[in-house]
Amino acid sequence: MAIIESSKMDKAISNLLSRQNYLVTQANDKAVLKAYGLKPSATEPEIVQHLFKMYEQLTSSK
């Protein structure tokens, strides 16, 4: 019985840690988008387009 309870607890802890990692990743993504002047709801194509525009600006000024 103790082994079963331990296994359930291990699974519950693993699930909580997984969820925490997901939330941290989401927060990091939002922070990076904000740092680059993008909305948190920006799509991948919008992000890529914005980054390419930034790259063009940085490389054309030289």
Give how many domains the chain has, as a whole number: 1
- State the chain's mean pLDDT as an integer: 86
pLDDT at 14 over 80: yes
CA distances from 18 to 8, 9, 30, 31, 32 (A): 15, 14, 19, 20, 21
Per-residue pLDDT band at 53 (split at 50, 70, 90): very high
User: Residue 33 is part of which domain span?
Assistant: 2-60
As a whole-number percent, the residues of the chain with pLDDT over 90 amount to: 48
Per-residue pLDDT band at 4 (split at 50, 70, 90): low
For residues 28 and 35, what is the distance between their CA atoms, to the nearest angstrom? 10
The stretch 18-36 carries a mean pLDDT of: 88
pLDDT at 11 over 90: no
